[in-house]
Amino acid sequence: MLRETIRSLAEAKIAPHAAAVDEEGRFPREALDALVASDLHAVHVPEEYGGAGADALATVIVIEEVARVCGSSSLIPAVNKLGSLPVILSGSEDLKKKYLGPLAKGDAMFSYALSEPDAGSDAAGMKTKAVRDGDFWVLNGVKRWITNAGESEYYTVMAVTDPTKRSKGISAFVVEKSDEGVSFGAPEKKLGIKGSPTREVYLDNVRIPADRMIGEEGTGFATAMKTLDHTRITIAAQAIGIAQGALDYAKGYVQERKQFGKPIGDFQGVQFMLADMAMKLEAARQLTYAAAAKSERLDGDLTFFGAAAKCFASDVAMEVTTDAVQLLGGYGYTRDYPVERMMRDAKITQIYEGTNQVQRIVMARNLP
């Protein structure tokens, strides 16, 4: 029922704007409005804070179905979970009440600020600092590659509070867009997901109350890593949705396109391509759903399964979307058809929330 609801909403309210959002590189306001109106913009927020209380699998299905029509728009529910999960996992009760309520209502979006110009895969090498000043913390630094930066009201920001302790000297904070000293760089000019702004976040003597720290001092990095165990599954879901959209389009196209007197879908070479695409996509989906169930149960092997789902699903998405472009031939290479957009959108799923090379390191260290 959830899948049917989100699919019909996505096809009616989000799909018609997907090409324009990509072409114009603008935030998909129509998608946000439609998702908020149906209470699907942040389904993971627990009921006690005004949310829908959706489990990890339901959240995956929402992201997957939105991504099937528009990769950029699927980052609204995905990044709302990424940004707010540190608060859900480690935040005080007061912090949860203050920030999850507006998120659940649709009054605010939540972004996640971990990466920096010199700290990507090596996130523990970050330089953003937070210095205690009485009942306040003062933050200074630059965060890079921040999804939905400038659109989101709230940011989970990781900063160094004790430079002598490396990862154990990093703490997490909630920073608000309206805090004095917060500003944003120009939107990055990206290959894909052009409707989701990616910008630098500048923190210039940003003074925030001490009670905006998420969890205890020095636990920020552990919270960040625990968050990614859960949210990598949402990137797997995004990858599956993009790939499904491309497969669906290619499937329809090969029935209509005729060469040598018959539909190209009647040729065995084309049939084998479609069979492989569907088979790999279904394998990725099952792995992702299994990982989502583990996320919900907090299973001990979640770290492996989260990394495996993200890595496998994103590799499959790149392969499936590339093959979809191939199946459309010259038409696939033009912007008149959606598969080239899907191929461009799929690429980022192999890179963000930990590159697939990093996922393989994570898997190797956490073999079940």
Beta-strand pair 154-160/110-113: parallel
**b/e code 35-65 from CB counts within 10 Å (16+ = b):** bbeebbbbbbbeeebbbbebebbbbbbbbbb
Q: Is 92 helix (H, G, I), strand (E, B) or coil?
A: coil
Q: CA–CA separation, 47 vs 54, rounded Å?
A: 9
Catalytic residue, chosen from 65, 200, 340, 353, is 353
Rama region for 89: left / alpha / beta (φ>0; ψ in -120 to 50; rest): alpha
Count of residues making up the chain? 368
CB neighbour list of residue 171: distance below 8 Å, 6 or more residues apart: 130, 158, 159, 160, 161, 213, 214, 215, 217, 218, 219, 220
Query: Quick check: is 353 catalytic?
Result: yes
Residues serving a catalytic function are 353
